[in-house]
A and B are shown apart, each in its own frame.
Chain A
Amino acid sequence: MLKCREVYEIASDYIDGDLGRWARIQMRLHLAMCRHCSRLVRQLEYGRRIVREEAGSTVIESASTARSELLATYDARYAAPSGSGVEPPAHED
């Protein structure tokens, strides 16, 4: 039987499903019988969800020119004719 202290040490791996089969079975046995450790696991799972909810919904506005500048840099490096690579075509249309 796992001790509560041991459960504490592996609880994070447990909620990721990263434990081996034997440890997982031991963990389930312990959780079925221990109210404290069951709470611990539910709190960790909730913590993981709320971190994702908050940080994952963060949107940082990017300067509108950033994307076009990157595309231009990419084109200059890969798409332009070999040589200096920055000459525009002589005629448009």
Chain B
Amino acid sequence: MLEEQDELVVRLRSGDRHAFRQLVDALHPRLLRFVNRLCPPPSVAEEVVQDTWHVVIDRLHTFRGDSRLSTWIFQIATHRARTRAVREGRYAATLLESWDHADPGGDGGLSRFDSRGRWVAPPAGWPPDDPEASAMHQQALARISEVIDQLPEAQRAVVLLRDVEGLDTREVSTILGLSPANVRVLLHRGRHRVRSELEAVWTGRESC
């Protein structure tokens, strides 16, 4: 697979526009939907992604193949998205330095257990065996987009890269400049938060 990638990079550097077009077609929609969740609205996200491709074209010769090409491109896109979000006043500039500070608090997990590590408020009795067949699933689907958008920025980025784009922990750690351990912690927090919001939908209760 790496040899395949080397060959692709050689073709891209030698002006093979067919190879470039294939790369754009494969990655552009994914970059756009990812960036749009970090830095909406779509018009801004599109500018960021367009910008990303220009950087890719410009810096192809600096790509050293330490990561996959797609990882490298996602990394550039993420950086541009964050820079743009800061410029738009969406995040404080200091957050750009580290994703760690962009993740307030934990998941409130400890308060769910007594001193002996047993559940105080155990998970409610959902989902049923085939949740996707239930009418509640449609309600959950209608709500989930908002839940994703309300995740703290770093959790949101990790959840999207791991669970939507299907990248592995190491790739995500390269893209976000975080240790793999941190990526796993953020994923844990993000998923538990999603779970707790879904519980509210499935049980008709307020989330906690």
Interface footprint category on B: 35 or more
Main secondary structure of the interface of A (DSSP, over half): helix
Instruction: State whether the Cβ of A21 lies closer than 8 Å to any Cβ in chain B.
Output: no
User: In the complex, what's the smallest C-beta–C-beta distance from A59 to chain B, in angstroms?
Assistant: 7
Asked if A51 meets B119 with Cβ closer than 8 Å, knowing A5-B113, A71-B21, A78-B15, the reply is: no
On chain A, the residues within 8 Å of B33 by CB distance are: 55-56, 58-60
Known contacts: A60-B45, A71-B21. The answer to whether A12 contacts B187 by CB under 8 A is yes
Among A11, A44, A54, contact of B145 (Cβ-Cβ < 8 Å): A54
8 A-B pairs whose Cβ atoms sit less than 8 Å apart in the complex? A4-B117, A5-B112, A11-B188, A58-B36, A60-B32, A69-B50, A73-B53, A74-B15
Within 8 A of B (CB), among A7-24: 8-9, 11-13, 16, 18
- B140 at the A interface (CB under 8 A): yes
Contact present for B46 and A47 (CB under 8 Å): no
A41's closest neighbor in chain B, by CB? Answer: B123
A60 touches B15 (CB 8 A): no
CB of A48 within 8 A of CB of B57, answer no
Nearest-Cβ distance from residue A40 to partner chain B, whole angstroms: 5
Given contacts A3-B116, A18-B184, A60-B45, contact A39 B192 (CB under 8 A): no
Q: Is the CB of A67 within 8 A of B184?
A: no
A79 within 8 A of B: yes
Query: In the assembled complex, which residues on chain A have CB atoms less than 8 Å from the CB atom of B140?
Result: 50
Q: Which residues of B contact A50 (CB under 8 A)?
A: 137, 140-141, 144, 198
Most buried by B among A52, A56, A74: A74
